Structure 1
Amino acid sequence: MPTLVNSLKSVLRSLPGPGVTARKYGSKSGVLREGVWLTLDRKTPLATLDASIFRSVEDTDNGRTKPAGEVFD
């Protein structure tokens, strides 16, 4: 049965790719590390957006709204 580690090993074997050969990354693990950081960097703004949408829906559900004519010119 394939495991996560074996799956990652398969992915790493398919590298190095242009990033390693162009010396942007020192090794295959550097490419993987950069991918993890990029994933984490995307999650924070998305969590903030999700929270904002949740608050807006909650405000609407609780009648905390104004008519568009009062808000827009």
Structure 2
Amino acid sequence: MSTMNISLPDSLKHFVDQQVAGRGYGTSSEYVRELIRRDKERQHLRDLLLEGASSEMTERVDANYFNSLRDRALKQSSK
């Protein structure tokens, strides 16, 4: 695993220490890694949303579509 050193003002260091103590992280590194993972997931979701927004229009989705989707999912889960 690679290492990275960061500098924080005292107020941010205090905040990180509070988060580590109060939220069950073992170290500040675990907390920062979790923040980075969440940001990475957020960026991935944003990219997917932008991709979907720029894609071609499809037929309208209505209650029948969701009902058939639910039925297919239920059939798959019962196998």
Q: What SS does the aligned partner of 2:24 have?
A: coil
Query: Which of 6, 9, 14 matches 2:7?
Result: 9
State the Cα distance separating 1:42 from its structure 2 match: 0.8
* Structure possessing the higher relative contact order (Cα contacts under 8 Å, 6 or more residues apart): 1
Equivalent runs, 1:32-71 vs 2, <5 Å:
32-56=32-56
**What TM-score do you get using the length of structure 2 for normalisation?**
0.51
Q: Structure 2: how far apart are the matches of 1:35 and 1:26?
A: 14
* TM-align CA RMSD: 3.3
**What TM-score do you get using the length of structure 1 for normalisation?**
0.55
**Equivalent residue, structure 2, for 1:20:** 20
Unmatched 5+ stretches in structure 2: 61-79
Which has more helix, going by share of residues? 1
**Equivalent residue, structure 1, for 2:65:** none
Unmatched 5+ stretches in structure 1: 60-64
State the number of aligned residues. 56
State the Cα distance separating 1:34 from its structure 2 match: 0.6
- Tell me the percent identity: 22
